[in-house]
A and B are shown apart, each in its own frame.
Chain A
Amino acid sequence: MQAQRSRTTQLLVILALAFLLVTALPFACWWGASRLRTGLAPAEATLRLAYSPEKGELLRALLEDFEAQGLKTSTGSTMKVVAEEMLPERMTAPAVAGELDAVCPDSSFWLTAIDQAWQEQSLDGGTLVGESVRFAISPVVIAIREEVARSMGHPERPLGWADILDKARNDPGFEWSHASTSTASGLLATLAQFYAGAGKTRGLTIEDATRQATLDYVAAVEATVKHYGEGELATVMMALEEGALGLDAFVVQEQLVVYYNARSSEKLVAVYPAEGTLWEDHPLALLESAGLTVEARETFQALKRYLLLPEAQQAVLSHGYRPADLSLSLTASGSPLTASNGVDPAQPQTVLQMPSPAVVQVVRDVWWYTKRHTNVFLVVDVSGSMAGDKLENARAGLLSFLGGMKGDDERVGLVQFSGSVGGMMPLNELGRNRQALAAAIANLNAGGNTALLDGIATAYAQLQGLGDRDRINAIVVMTDGRENASRVGLRELQRRIREGNRDGVPVFIFCIGYGRDADMDMLRAIAETSGGQVREGDLLSIEELYRLISTYF
């Protein structure tokens, strides 16, 4: 009886399950299929966007507000923007490879570069850059310390590139800098020099740019540059962190003058070069690659509309940019574009003519030969604590540094240290030792103590011994630990640096504290003594950090 009841129960359960399957399955299939027909999308419609670093603060704030609105695409997906900071020059490769849906470089110039690269690859004559919008603009200016600008005649007479270049050539105490041609401001500074060298303000040709007299002029001016750098924002941020500018003048977009003056007691003035400037117009542009999804396109269009809304445009102005909305007055109460912030909304009066992409490319290529060259020692910690991933990633970083040094005329040497200094490769032009350096880096092995100060002292003595005033002299030192084996002490090293930099050639020391155990206080003391910089890196960031530091040379 019990067994029969059990069989009946089993039969009923099986029948019920079968009924469930027969009734529910077709409906489930129908529902699923219909969702697919209507374009069942991922939960998020992601727009992959790369933007240039100088507008990071503004763009991140705007994107946060945009996403907070929880907008949906036509398929019901939530709109999302994955934004990555990237130097404009580096946007081209991922854009052409279809790894980005949109870009927002500092200037429209880079959009032309992207289209050119696309046309070379696709050969169909089409363009990759699609619809675009400009939501914030800012002219490139020469930011000069107020007292220095006044000593040069500002504001009574208009200053220009010629004044800066003359000052730099005639006043050894005048220190100025511009970024490399990887950014709009660096490109402008370089173009201005080529125009001045060619004696023109428009119509620069390849012949003009490659004429020996032009090259000599540019090289003479570049010889006065203190150092280059990773970009205009980094220069400003570094000055704010350190509480003082290490420079008398540098080339940035106007917005960064406002940004700096709002946060510092030391004032900068924006000089709008009399010969002309360029605009950073920050275009947000869609990339019409084959992989662009409907959702990404809709997200782009919604973002485009959002950026032009009154509240977004007001935020643009509050951050010191000139908004695209012309109804917003730059001179109204509350606008940060004021004389007290060092800027003048009625400027600039004129721009330099942007040459064709072919001429610009020649200028960028030739610049590597005219720029101020470098003697730089890479001082590398290979103590026992560096073993494993640390050393492997450091190797990648060192190679990335070499890759960033595009000119074969730059001189690079290598000093490795553990319990003592060893494995030194003397300075030599990269055209001669690039491969040997790469091989030495690949063969770095970890073991022993940390003679950090001896490593720096060795490289420093080499540079002072060379006494090369024409070049930038620098040491890039990296350590993951604490000094425990040097013969020279910190105070003694600082004394040598102070005296050497005063009586010999100035040597800037860039210190990288690699990981949490690095002695940052010691590194900071060394960097400050030399007028250099100190950076913190880890396993993930060390490669990019080395690449960034390479932009200073």
Chain B
Amino acid sequence: MNKTRLVFVLVVVAAVVIVGVSLLLQGDDTTLEPEKQELLEVRVACALPVEEWVRGAAESFNAEGRRLNGVPIAVQVTAVDGLTAKSRFDRGEFDPVPTVWIPDSRYLVELVNLTQKQKLGRDVFLTDGEYRARPIATSLFTWGIYSSRAQVLEEKFGTINWRTIYDAATARGGWPELGGEAGWGYFKLVVPNPQRNVGGLAAMVAAAGEYHGTTRIGVEEVAAPEFQTWLGELMGAVTDFSSLSAYSAEDLALFGYSMGDGGQLLESDLLSHMEGIQARWQEPLRIIYPEYITWFDFPFTIWMGQETTAAEKNAALEFERYLLSEEVQARAVQLGLRPVNTDVPLDGEGSPFVRWADQGILTVVPRSSAMRSPDRDTLDTLVRWFELNVTQR
């Protein structure tokens, strides 16, 4: 082969190599193939108190390689506080829109529906039928107070409720006046920041219920001047709203009694931190059930807007069934949530409801009055009051 032919062959070989390498580098790139749906994505916007459980369930669900009509389902979980999610739905800020929303409580779904009905003329979340919102677990608000402090309060007041907590919060002499130690300072109340955690609003609504002696709280009750004065004095016992995270029970555990002697928080949040609190502060919390109880039911709610395909809705239902399965509901119990699957016992082996029974945890909630869900105007009034009177105090 002469030199000229050699050059020619080398150039042709180089061209073939470049084309071959390009093809290899593409590998499994299917961009030249017709579009086809390879994955059914279920995007879940999840309330903070059930995030750990739902995220864990999503991981095991994905790992099992579940399919719908042969197409694999992938569940992605994003933690969003219920009130924050409601605002984002109202303002159309979700991009992409979640396939599923698990808010803290059903009333948040109703509030979003109300806004969307005004915009679109229809509900975006259904309350009946196959795709209706269904609770996946429940929890309720209880008092969680460091046991040394709870003992002093019970000796002083007999029972612990919002009225006695108000008396403790406003005691000018602090803990010594209440019979506690001087080093404890003043009584410090933990209330989740309602701008970051819907639990803060729930606590204020419960306080209003007890103040007015009713389970139905409206604008008239929360706007009453004497109530607002009372609530303002009560909130004066919160140490620092600026640095409290959305996870108030976590704050209670991390900073201990130095930052909060106790507060009315979600039972599941308290239970999931009991072990850590005991380990870090060498003192458990005492759990006390209030007379006026607020329940969170964490409804699994599928977005019915055009952004969600029928296949995605059905994939979401698959995940919902998975969450309601005995095995996954049992995992919820381990995290302090009350199961909705009645086949799952609350007092099974390793249940925190059994482990912390001595600290006041009850498997059967005593007869009490359940707070009714507040309407949008009531919530708005409370949030505005909070912004003006507490965060800017």
Chain A residues with CB under 8 Å of chain B are 5, 8-9, 12-13, 15-17, 19-20, 23-24, 27-28, 30-31, 34, 37-38, 107-109, 111-112, 132, 134, 137, 139, 158, 201-203, 205, 274-277, 279, 281, 283, 322, 324, 326-327, 329-330, 346-359
Contacts and interface: CB of A to CB of B under 8 A. Distances in A.
Contact of B31 (A16, A34, A134, A274): A34
Nearest to B29: A34
Interface of B: 3-5, 7-8, 11-12, 14-16, 18-19, 22-23, 25-26, 29, 31, 174, 181-186, 188, 236-237, 239-240, 242-243, 245, 253-255, 257-259, 273, 275-277, 279-282, 391-393
Nearest to B280: A326
Nearest to B11: A16
Given A20-B15, A283-B243, 6 more contacts: A23-B15, A274-B182, A326-B253, A327-B276, A350-B258, A351-B258
Given A19-B11, A31-B25, A326-B277, A353 B282 contact: no
A348 B239 CA distance: 14
- A contacts with B: majority SS: mixed
Given A279-B255, A348-B258, A134 B245 contact: yes
15 contacts: A8-B4, A12-B5, A12-B8, A15-B8, A17-B11, A20-B14, A30-B22, A31-B25, A202-B236, A327-B275, A329-B279, A350-B184, A353-B239, A353-B240, A354-B239
| Minimum-distance CB pairs A-B, first 8 | A326-B276, A350-B185, A108-B243, A16-B11, A354-B240, A27-B22, A9-B4, A24-B18
A17 B7 CA distance: 10
B392 A358 contact: yes
Given A109-B242, A326-B279, A351-B240, A19 B184 contact: no
A202 B175 CA distance: 14
A276 B185 contact: yes
A409 B357 CA distance: 63
B26 A158 contact: no
A16 B236 contact: no
B280 A354 contact: no
A15 B183 CA distance: 92
A461 B25 CA distance: 78
Contact of A324 (B25, B254, B257): B254
B281 A346 contact: yes
A410 B62 CA distance: 65
B243 A107 contact: yes
A373 B11 CA distance: 81
B243 A350 contact: no
A194 to B, nearest CB: 15
Contacts of A109: 242-243
Contacts of A108: 242-243
Contacts of B275: 326-327
A354 B186 CA distance: 14
B184 A349 contact: yes
B282 A346 contact: yes
A308 B331 CA distance: 22
B319 to A, nearest CB: 22
Given A137-B254, A329-B279, A330-B280, A356 B29 contact: no
A201 B186 contact: yes
A24 B15 contact: yes
Contact of B254 (A17, A134, A275): A134
A201 B174 contact: yes
B307 to A, nearest CB: 21
A334 to B, nearest CB: 15
A293 B250 CA distance: 30
Given A108-B243, A201-B174, A346-B281, A13 B8 contact: yes
A351 B242 CA distance: 14
Given A20-B15, A23-B19, A349 B258 contact: yes
Given A12-B8, A23-B19, A329-B279, A350 B188 contact: yes
